[in-house]
């Protein structure tokens, strides 16, 4: 059975993952308004990934005999200055999520829950991949600057991203 302290920390992280889903849905809307369909697709995959991250923890808390308590999801930002501005925000956000996963693992360590630590390893690896993939798009956007043709080429590239349901844990 999961300890109360760890249960609370998991519930907070479920909220953070759902907020991430909400944030990327908001960013998807921004790209819809710019008619950049590849960016829309990239964000759509991101939304689905965050949903899967939240549900992975939701299932895990139940599997461990705990109680999931859903909390209010904060209103996300709705506008950005440019695609570059969006991806700078995505990277900042993913770095924040990484620090939250680390903090969650600290709680699991504190209550000596090795099973939870082993489960959370997957999330830690996922964060490394997420930061790398976001960083890749961000550096391309930094090179592109105001070149509309290059932006459209990147848009085409981002249209090829597909969602693969993750096997968590």
Residue with smaller CB distance to ligand FEO, 27 or 151? 27
Interatomic CA distance for residues 154 and 141, integer angstroms: 8
Q: Which residue of 20, 28, 56, 141 would you call a contact of ligand FEO, by CB under 6 A? A: 20
Q: Which residue of 17, 27, 61, 151 would you call a contact of ligand FEO, by CB under 6 A? A: 17
Report if residue 94 touches ligand FEO, rule: CB under 6 A: yes
Q: Which residue of 130, 137, 155, 158 would you call a contact of ligand FEO, by CB under 6 A? A: 130
Residue with smaller CB distance to ligand FEO, 94 or 113? 94
**What does the angle CA 161 – CA 164 – CA 165 come to, to the nearest 5 degrees?**
145
Compute the least distance from the CB of residue 53 to ligand FEO, in Å. Answer: 4
Interatomic CA distance for residues 57 and 116, integer angstroms: 10
Of 116, 94, 97, the residue nearest 107 (C-alpha): 116
Compute the least distance from the CB of residue 16 to ligand FEO, in Å. Answer: 8
With CB under 6 A, what is the number of residues at the site for ligand FEO?
7
Compute the least distance from the CB of residue 146 to ligand FEO, in Å. Answer: 29
Q: Which residue of 97, 104, 105, 158 would you call a contact of ligand FEO, by CB under 6 A? A: 97
Residue with smaller CB distance to ligand FEO, 56 or 66? 56
Interatomic CA distance for residues 8 and 64, integer angstroms: 13
Binding mask 28-67 for ligand FEO (x = CB under 6 A): ----------------------x--x--------------
Chain residues that interact with ligand FEO, rule: CB under 6 A: 17, 20, 50, 53, 94, 97, 130
């Amino acid at each position: 059975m999961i300890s109360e302290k760890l249960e609370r920390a998991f519930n907070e992280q479920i909220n953070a993952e759902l907020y991430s889903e909400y944030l990327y849905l908001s960013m998807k809307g921004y790209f819809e308004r710019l008619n950049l369909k590849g960016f829309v697709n990239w964000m759509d995959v991101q939304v689905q990934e965050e949903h899967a991250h939240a549900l992975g923890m939701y299932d895990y808390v139940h599997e461990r005999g705990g109680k999931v308590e859903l909390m209010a999801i904060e209103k996300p930002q709705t506008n950005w200055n440019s695609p570059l501005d969006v991806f700078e925000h995505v990277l900042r956000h993913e770095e924040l999520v990484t620090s939250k996963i680390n903090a969650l693992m600290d709680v699991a360590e504190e209550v000596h829950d090795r099973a939870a630590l082993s489960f959370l390893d997957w999330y830690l690896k996922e964060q490394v991949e997420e930061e790398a993939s976001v960083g890749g798009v961000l550096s391309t956007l930094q090179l592109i600057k105001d070149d509309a043709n290059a932006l459209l080429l990147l848009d085409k590239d981002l249209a090829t991203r597909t969602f693969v349901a993750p096997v968590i844990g």
